[in-house]
Amino acid sequence: MSQTDPIAEMLTRIRNAIHARYNEVELSHSHLREAIARVLAAEGFLQAVDSEGEGYKRKLKLRISYAQNREKREPVIRGLQRVSKPSLRVYSGASKMPRAAGGMGMHVVSTPLGVMTDHDARHKKVGGEILLRVW
């Protein structure tokens, strides 16, 4: 089955897993999806990212982070939003990189140096395509 927007599909699966209070999400592997997941894991939004299998059967397993409250488990991810879409790409330079949720969230940016957060892109003075917003 062909996917028009695999990043949006990844974000939808994560949103649905958080809503159902699942600990893990499994999806098909791509290098871009893995790079985005590793950025989210480095920032604490995901616990772990594992890649298993070989060839076309390769899968990506994401473990979702939850804050441990005594009353109930609250997800660390409050919201995920796709910014740049296949129908409308959104690019930004390093000096005009937007801030997510007044600095409380972050953007994931695809740059010539790889996939990174908006903060890292500003620090390295490199712009790129704003893939998604997470808070």
DSSP string, the chain: ---S-HHHHHHHHHHHHHHTT-SEEEEE--HHHHHHHHHHHHTTSEEEEEEES-GGG-EEEEEEPEEE-SS-EEES---EEE-S-SSS--EE-STT---SGGGTSEEEEEETTEEEEHHHHHHHT--EEEEEEE-
Q: CATH no. for residue 127?
A: 3.30.1490.10
38 part of a folded domain:
yes
User: For residue 73, which of 39, 22, 36, 109 has the smallest C-alpha distance?
Assistant: 22
Residues 23, 29: contact at Cβ < 8 Å? no
pLDDT band for 2, please (50, 70, 90 cuts): low
Q: What is the pLDDT of residue 102?
A: 77
Number of domains in the chain: 1
78 part of a folded domain:
yes
126 part of a folded domain:
yes
Q: What is the pLDDT of residue 70?
A: 63
1 part of a folded domain:
no
Domain that holds residue 123: 6-134
Mean pLDDT: which of 89-93, 94-98, 99-103 is highest?
Answer: 89-93
Using the predicted structure, report yes or no on whether residue 105 has a pLDDT greater than 60. yes
